[in-house]
Amino acid sequence: MRTMTATRKEEKVGQVSVKKGAGFWRKFVQQRYLYLMSIPFVIWAFVFSYLPLWGWTMAFQKFKPGIPFLKQKWVGLQYFRELFADEQFYRVLRNTLAMSSMGLVAGFVVPIVFAVVLNEVRVLPLKRFVQTVSYLPHFVSWVVVAGIVTKMLSTDGGVVNDLLLSLHIIDEPIQFMAKGGLFWYIVTASDVWKEMGWNTIIYLAAIAGIGPELYEAAKVDGASRLGQIRHITLPGIRPTIVVLLIMSIGHLIGIGFEKQFLLGNPLVSDYSQVLDLYALNYGLGLGRFSFGTAINIFNSVISVFLLLLANGIFKRTTKESIF
């Protein structure tokens, strides 16, 4: 008896697995259009997003273009040693971290304040007009923004210098774009100018989700407008702020290089070089592919580390995970 049930069971198991396999292919045929609509793009993503990772091998080779992979000379960690021995590298790292943390702080505080202010505007057409205006710089390229910033800060006819001169704050025009010490502030201010309005969208949505009865109750309790902001609006968007803050920690090092490339010039290069720009100028520009790839790897590894760190903090604070 026992053996019989056992064999029967086995049969059943066998049947099920056979059925499962056949079911997969039957379904595959049934869902052929779904596969047709996804697999080509998956291959696409593989080529342009995953394949570059294979290029990381270059950092461990004395890479020469045009030679087959197996014939390249392997050098181990030589380029990483070179990178960490380079004095320039530490300056670049300092610039990257300085500009990204300044951007992080300003990029948070200003949009939150602006969103709260917008929310207090009771004249709706006016509110909508200001919102539309504030979105404009987001859609304009960094090339244009860099051109505008350079123009506004220029010594001949730049509005900032003209204004400061006419208010007698300064006696002669300041060469803003030639002062290394000012570069980080200029980049941060340009970034705020460009993205301030755009970044209010999420906060405004969060504010809109706060129940009106809370405000009513506060009004009954005699809270002033400022008091309502402090006790209702800000606590109401706190979760949104926390999530966005943690998520942006993950992007702390990958700040891109467009602004620095377009706003920088040789006079301020000690302050404008960031990791990606360093890879571009000292890797690609000089044909040192391996060295440049080592910089890229350093960048990516730190980014992923920060991302995991941020996710860890996020888990701790909210018991949820971003991914």
Residues 120 to 149 in contact with another protein, rule: CB under 8 A: 120-121, 126, 129-137, 139-144, 146-148
Shortest distance, position 5 Cβ to another protein, whole Å: 33
Contacts of another protein in 47-86 (CB under 8 A): 47-56, 58, 65
Distance CA 127, CA 130 (A): 5
17 binding another protein? (CB under 8 A): no
286 binding another protein? (CB under 8 A): no
Distance CA 177, CA 100 (A): 19
**Contacting another protein (CB under 8 A), which of 102, 182, 201, 313?**
201
Number of C-alpha atoms within 13 angstroms, CB side, residue 195? 18
**Contacting another protein (CB under 8 A), which of 267, 302, 309, 313?**
267
Contacts of another protein in 215-244 (CB under 8 A): 224-226
What six digits make up the tokens of 304? 């992923």
The DSSP secondary structure of 37-56, one letter per residue, reads HHHHHHHHHIIIIIHHHHGG
By CB under 8 A, which span of 7-15, 90-98, 256-264, 312-320 interacts with another protein?
A: 256-264
**Contacting another protein (CB under 8 A), which of 280, 306, 309, 313?**
280
**Side chain identity, residue 20:** K
183 binding another protein? (CB under 8 A): no
The dihedral region occupied by 273, where left means phi > 0, alpha psi between -120 and 50, and beta the remainder, is: beta
User: Burial, 122: exposed, middle or buried (Cβ in 10 Å; 0-12, 13-18, 19+)?
Assistant: exposed
254 binding another protein? (CB under 8 A): yes
Site string for another protein, 299-318 (x = CB under 8 A): xx--xx--x-----------
Instruction: Give the count of residues interacting with another protein (CB under 8 A).
Output: 95
By CB under 8 A, which span of 7-15, 72-80, 89-97, 279-287 interacts with another protein?
A: 279-287
Q: Which one, of 164, 146, 144, lies nearest residue 155 by Cα?
A: 164
202 binding another protein? (CB under 8 A): yes
Q: Which one, of 182, 132, 141, 140, lies nearest residue 160 by Cα?
A: 182
Distance CA 71, CA 321 (A): 44
Closer CB to another protein, 102 or 148, in the complex: 148
Contacts of another protein in 93-122 (CB under 8 A): 114, 117-118, 120-121
User: CB of 266 within 8 A of CB of 77?
Assistant: no
